[in-house]
């Protein structure tokens, strides 16, 4: 089993920057793709960014050029650097990871961290 814990959320002014971090524990050697989702007030969860264990990235159109996802496989950590933040980015952000064993594939979720962007 894999456990994920996010940190780094908080209040920031529009146009500012914030860096979120994610620490993984448990059976970390089985982790494949990692990423970040967010859920704003009254909205469904949406994918913000993801990165494979080989370093290939994918971003939502709304954050391309402003957010950067990264991971350190040796330290079992990941991060999301957010720049030029807009009020629309206000949401709970979740760290995610996928894994598999001989029987099934799994998705793992952190507890979430609040990001609030003021105008």
The answer to whether the CB of 31 falls within 8 A of the CB of 98 is yes
* Segment 56-91, tens digit of pLDDT: 999 999 999 999 999 999 999 999 999 999 999 999
Q: CA–CA separation, 108 vs 86, rounded Å? A: 28
30: helix, coil or strand?
helix
* Segment 87-117, tens digit of pLDDT: 999 999 999 999 988 899 999 999 999 999 9
Mean pLDDT for the stretch of residues 6-24 = 97
């Amino acid at each position: 089993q894999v456990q994920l814990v996010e940190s780094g959320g908080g209040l920031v002014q529009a146009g500012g920057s914030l860096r979120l971090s994610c620490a993984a524990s448990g059976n970390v050697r089985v982790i494949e793709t990692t990423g970040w989702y967010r859920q704003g007030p009254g909205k469904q969860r949406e994918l913000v960014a993801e990165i494979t264990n080989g370093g290939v990235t994918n971003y939502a159109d709304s954050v391309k050029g402003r957010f950067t996802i990264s991971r350190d496989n040796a330290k079992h950590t990941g991060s999301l650097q957010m720049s030029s933040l807009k009020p629309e980015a206000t949401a709970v952000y979740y760290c995610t990871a996928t894994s598999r064993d001989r029987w099934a594939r799994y998705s793992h979720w952190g507890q979430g961290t609040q990001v609030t962007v003021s105008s």
